[in-house]
Amino acid sequence: MEFVRGSHLDGKHYRAEVFNAREGHPNTWTDEGGGEAVPDIEADRAKFDIIGFDVEPGDAVIFSSWVLHGARGNASPNKRRAALSTRWLGDDARWWPHDGSDPTVSQEDVTVRPGEYPADDRVFPVVWPRGS
């Protein structure tokens, strides 16, 4: 994985990006969103402070999704790459469904209203309560 160091501090809201998009790709929802386009990092990698490291099976990588991040494609003809991605929210989070946001959870799935803390424990379970 690679990250653009400090990109979460630039005050920009980048729209989700699907690389090597193909017909029928399940992430076509990314085309619907607002926000700025992700800069073409590959066109001038030296312009960005890129950090990266290899990961091995069983590794866990935790980072803010506001950080520009990605990984090169899997060129192996016989090794599959699999990953599990979860999202964790702080107590300052607010529910903000909008065009271009991940449709895994939509307004129809929750009882919380936009702008409120996502306190719908069925969809947003409390894993570690404050003061524990």
**How high is the mean pLDDT in each 10-residue block of the chain (132 residues)?**
94 74 58 76 94 89 89 85 84 83 82 90 83 72
Which residue matches tokens 């979860």? 86
For 3, other C-beta atoms within 10 Å of its C-beta total 20
**Whole-angstrom Cα distance, residue 4 to residue 70?**
9
Which amino acid is it at 121? D
Q: Which residues contact 44 (CB under 8 A, 6 or more apart)?
A: none
**Whole-angstrom Cα distance, residue 42 to residue 56?**
24
- pTM of the predicted model over 0.75: no
Which amino acid is it at 22? R
